[in-house]
Chain A
Amino acid sequence: MTGTSTATGPRTSPTTSGVGQSAGRPDARQKVTGEFAYSSDLWLDGMIWGATLRSPHPRAVIDGLDIGAALRLPGCHAVLTHDDVPGRKVYGLEHADQPVLASDQVRYQGEPVAIVAADHPETARRALGKIKVSYTELEPLTDARAALETAAPRVHDGGNVVRHVKIRKGDPAAVAELVVSGEYQVGMQDQAFLGPESGLAVPAEDGGVDLFVATQWLHADRTQVAACLGLPEDMVRITLAGVGGAFGAREDLSMQVHACLLALRTGKPVKMVYSREESFFGHVHRHPATLHYEHGAAADGKLIYVRADIVLDGGAYASSSTAVAANAATLGIGPYEVPNVRLDCRAVYTNNPPCGAMRGFGAVQACFAYESQMDKLAAGLGLDPVELRVRNAMHEGSVMPTGQVVDSAAPVAELLRRVSGRPLPPAAAGTDRDIRGLPGGVSNTTHGEGVVRGIGYGIGIKNVCFSEGFDDYSTARVRLHLIGGEPAADVHTAAAEVGQGLVTLQGQIARTELGVEQVRVVPADTSIGSGGSSSASRQSYMTGGAVRAACEQVREQILERGRGLFPGHEDLSVSGGKLVSARDGALAALADLLAEPAEATVTWRHRGTSPLDPQTGQGDAHVQYAFAAHRAVVDVDTELGLVKVIELACAQDVGRAMNPQAVEGQIHGGTAQGLGLALMEEIQVTGGKVRNPSFTDYLIPTILDMPPMKLDVLELADPHAPYGLRGVGEPPTISSTPAIVAAIRAATGLALTRVPVRPEHITGTGPERDA
């Protein structure tokens, strides 16, 4: 089936854990008992261990490579280099530009140069130490804006611009009564999932390989792995292993090709597990960004124009930079109506770590800048920041700067009213407060003196699903059969459960559509068609849509059987495990119609999108827009620059809360990652080298950093989407960052143009930024 479905309610009676209910996770029991097998837990008798030698230099020529001593190490089974890659030597999600193993040069610190397999992880590490690589170091290109200069060294032969997206709308020479401008910077954030990269590759008798791995997109992995191995795709079979979080970091390959190469070379199962330190070098990060904005507004606050120039540091390889640039550009003015827009967004190559997908990709960076600008504009006009946003709020029917009409709910003003209308947490004052609730906490840095409260707001916009004409689809097979005489449904997709709850949702949909209680979600693997990526907030929409469509076909098969058995009944439905006639009630047990199983496999697509015009950025590029707003309340120790977030309120439209508990969980978790970007999370890169590849030095929010949350979940159905749902995962990550920074500004009066905000930015005692 191809095409779209309209949003209609379930046509069977809801079960106790169907769509719209907080059904429990089917994997929860295994996860709380410790039985759930994460990719790092896999074990096969006779397996050996892989390890990766990585470049210590951000830019260097490889003059020579001596693997002899490593090969002679007892217990070492294989040492492989670039020459041992039998197929395509490079891979990449959008451009195949990243070497499986470096050949003549390295372009970033941490680039894989050689791989080994050995009988023990420690033997493997010793073998790595015996590989001799001669490098001639070159001056790395580490400034993204310098990379644009014609004299800059070229990271790749095609030049340093991965993509330049231009948005042109209205009058380029528009003038306005009030103009505010600013330059903003976003640091390099890490996804910091808790379960490091890992997997197990098992050589197969047919000369192929079976790979068990934690990933976000099984089929994209398979396509790339097979090409690099020089094997047909059907000889590379990938099964999803337990995933310890993803957030974009598992969309690109990490150890997949390496483990398969070693398994095929040695004829043994090969396991690879990254340490936390290696994980920081083993996946892409959020693009650091420099964003220059100019906003022009009338005296009443109505926006007249936005001009922006955004430079995204893509690092050494393209990864998903093209999509990140498109998001930053097309969503770059935020959820506002602006008649005149001129925006340029460039993603560039440098010798910094490669950057790509992370929750909210592209939209996160832009939102920090445009929301900072809105606050600056409000201050300039003497307007309340919420009021200014409401006056410019986009709504259903608004036109994006791309010319695309927003054709479903866009409750921007309502979301702002929801968060701003909430009661505030009690004001705290005085110097006799419980220190645990103060900035600095039990470090006992203040008893309340110097502490100032601030309140700030942020709202963001995100596209859902893949855009710009990408052939985006998901595949689902549903089989209704009898288990012990009772009807039960099997649901099979290749869509990756990464923690978000997709396995729960698939079961809910099957229960609702087929009126059965027993549903088994079959492990995701490549024996079925692609489910697409677990990214871009797309799986509820896409795999949800595919599972529903497959259920509809199965149901139709059952009804057809019913119409054959009960002629004259054209008004049949399945409900509560029975075949029901609207006129005569229950006619038969569903089980009686399932002597033969009913099965359907459906490839389901969202409605089509268009590419962006390369000169003007015009085009109906996106499938769906999603919105979330935050209000942050913070206490700032203005003397020490320490911040305590007191409360975060969030309002988000989810179209339909398919599983309210899971929706809330996504909003909580997304908000926390935005808090991290606002206050603490940054990969510190100096001269192309990562200075803090550990959780000792790269800080993510703890339970003490993350305050209690207040949520408003709106359900304004999108008529184009399955069940009316709207993607949930990314929007809360986007708006929490600017809301928190706005609150710090409100408390301190500082401009704060960079995230994460560091104590010295507040105290003025340190350098703004030492790149």
Chain B
Amino acid sequence: MTIVYDDEPDADEIPVRRIRFTINGAKKVAEVEPRLLLAHLIRQGLKLTGTHTGCDTTNCGACTVLVDGKPVKSCTMLAVQVDGHEITTVEGLATASELHPLQEGFKEEHGLQCGFCTPGMMLAAKALLDHNPDPTEEDVRWALSGNLCRCTGYQNIVKSVLWAAEKLRS
């Protein structure tokens, strides 16, 4: 839909879209400006601050979330694009009683230092493990090649994901 105005519209006439989506299993309805970024919907609209923004330009991957199971960088997706879709953020990884094996893996294998990249890393890794339960080190590296970490040199991140893969298989 395109709306063309003859004169400058009042601020409250800025078109707002109603979207329905599921986030971490919970159904939500939101009214959003079409230009709103998914990352801002998640961080400011839903107050889920575990999704981090590190670069604003789709390079660092700290804002990675899953949309219908696929990893996307939420700083470069519009909120209106998740209408009718299912989002998973880091807050949706653990159950009430236990951590996801990826979360355990990053803890056990010292896969994080400052931890800013960790949520994005884990979600990108989840997308890998969901379709490849027994990845090689090379597979892990390729799956995480869109996510930057400045602290770990990636060595323990690879170990953490392989740890989780093994746990999930057993």
Contact = CB atoms under 8 A, between A and B. Distances in A.
A704 B142 contact: yes
A668 B150 contact: no
A514 to B, nearest CB: 25
B17 to A, nearest CB: 18
A703 B147 contact: yes
Contacts of B47: 43
A500 B115 CA distance: 10
Given A669-B153, A694-B55, A702-B145, A35 B114 contact: no
A38 interface: yes
B57 A195 contact: no
B103 A436 contact: no
A498 B114 contact: yes
B52 A244 contact: yes
A243 B153 contact: no
Interface string B59-73: 110100000000000
Given A194-B52, A706-B153, A700 B148 contact: yes
Contacts of B53: 40
Given A245-B150, A669-B150, A33 B57 contact: no
Nearest to B59: A695
Given A40-B52, A43-B47, A193-B114, A33 B153 contact: no
B148 A32 contact: no
Contacts of B57: 276, 694-696
B151 A669 contact: yes
Interface string B130-162: 000000011001101111111111111110000
Contacts of A672: 150, 152-154
Contact of A34 (B90, B113, B148): B90
A229 interface: no
Contacts of A193: 114, 116, 150
Contacts of B149: 194, 703
Nearest to B155: A668
B74 interface: no
B113 A499 contact: yes
Given A29-B107, A33-B94, A669 B56 contact: no
Given A25-B107, A34-B48, A695-B59, A244 B116 contact: yes
Interface stretch (B2-10, B79-87, B117-125): B117-125
A244 B142 CA distance: 24
B91 interface: yes
Interface residues of A, number: 58
Nearest to B53: A40
Interface string A7-33: 000000000000000101101110111
B103 A194 contact: no
Interface in A614-663: 661-662
B116 A195 contact: yes
A517 to B, nearest CB: 18
Contacts, number: 174
B52 A31 contact: no
A628 to B, nearest CB: 13
Nearest to A246: B114
Nearest to A434: B138
B148 A695 contact: yes
B15 interface: no
B145 A708 contact: no
A501 interface: yes
Interface string A62-85: 000000000000000000000000
Interface string B26-65: 0000000000000000010001111111111101101000
A436 B143 CA distance: 13
Contact of A702 (B119, B148, B155): B148
A194 B61 CA distance: 10
Interface string A487-502: 0000000000011110
A709 interface: yes
Contacts of B122: 32
B18 interface: no
A471 interface: no
Scoring B106, B108, B150 by chain A CB atoms within 10 A of each residue's CB, the highest score goes to B150
A135 interface: no
B113 A665 contact: yes
A700 B150 contact: yes
Interface string A138-178: 00000000000000000000000000000000000000000
Contacts of B152: 665, 668-669, 672
A671 interface: yes
Contacts of A694: 55-57, 59
B151 A34 contact: no
B154 A276 contact: no
A696 B56 CA distance: 10
Interface string A203-235: 000000000000000000000000000000000
B48 to A, nearest CB: 7
A684 B79 CA distance: 34
A22 B156 CA distance: 14
B150 A28 contact: no
Residue with the greatest number of chain B CB neighbours at <10 A, chosen from A32, A694, A701: A32
A13 B93 CA distance: 38
Nearest to B114: A499
Interface in A275-295: 275-277
Nearest to B100: A32
A192 interface: yes
Contact of B153 (A192, A275, A671, A696): A671
A500 B54 CA distance: 19
For A34, A191, A670, which residue has the most chain B Cβ atoms within 10 angstroms?
A: A34
A277 B91 contact: no
A661 B159 CA distance: 12
B99 interface: yes
A695 B49 contact: no
Given A29-B99, A33-B90, A276-B56, 8 more contacts: A34-B49, A34-B91, A35-B50, A41-B49, A194-B60, A665-B152, A670-B153, A672-B150
6 contacts: A31-B112, A32-B102, A32-B122, A664-B110, A668-B153, A671-B153
7 shortest A-B CB distances, which residue pairs?
Answer: A34-B50, A499-B114, A668-B153, A31-B115, A244-B116, A695-B59, A672-B153
